[in-house]
Amino acid sequence: MATILFYLFAGLAIGGAIGVVMSKSPIGSLLFMVTALGAMAGTFVLLEAHFLAAIQIIVYAGAIMVLFLFVIMLLNLGHDYQKDLKGGAFAVLSFGVIGGIAGLMAQQLGSTGLEDGPGGAAIDAAMAEHGAVGAIATELYTTYVVPFEITGILLLVAIVGALVLAKREV
């Protein structure tokens, strides 16, 4: 049953990701992205990472999608559709880049040696000591604190940029 659910969630995630890129409407792209993020949350549940699944729904499918919807409405992108960069050479280039990234990820996963279990000995020890949330927080706020802060700064810059673009001249 878990295998069937995995393939169902994987198909939904891939279909949602393709829908994000191919949708002609920004609102449609947003809804396809919510579908892809929901499918990823389902995959996390199958991996028994319930905290990550909840965070995926609350933070990404909830807060970030509301932020994207706010920016779309603020910039009035739902009207006067223009072709932009969709289709043609841009689509071929996009799928080429995505294929390259997928190949690099597959190569990396193939060379990681997961004989010790899904998290390795260090993660298993942190899980035993702090629990699932504590193990994630320990890694996030020690090893990955700089990328975490840079992501926050990038989101802030994106919001300020959207507000500057949407500001009307008086």
Q: Which two three-digit tokens encode residue 158?
A: 């994106």
Q: What is the pLDDT of residues 2-52, one digit of tens each?
A: 889 899 999 999 999 999 888 888 788 888 888 898 899 889 988 888 888
In a shared domain, residues 77 and 14: yes
Domain of 167? 119-170
In a shared domain, residues 95 and 56: no
pTM of the entire predicted model: 0.54
Sign of torsion over alpha carbons 20, 25, 31, 34: positive
Quick one: average pLDDT of 103-118? 62
Give residue 79's pLDDT.
54
Say if residues 40 and 15 touch (Cβ distance below 8 Å).
no
- If you average pLDDT over every residue of the chain, what do you get? 77
Tally the domains of the chain: 3
Say if residues 21 and 96 touch (Cβ distance below 8 Å).
no
Query: b/e per residue, 5-16, with b = 16+ CB within 10 A?
Result: eeeebeebbeeb
In a shared domain, residues 77 and 100: no
- The tokens 């298993």 sit on which residue? 124
In a shared domain, residues 96 and 156: no
In a shared domain, residues 54 and 29: yes
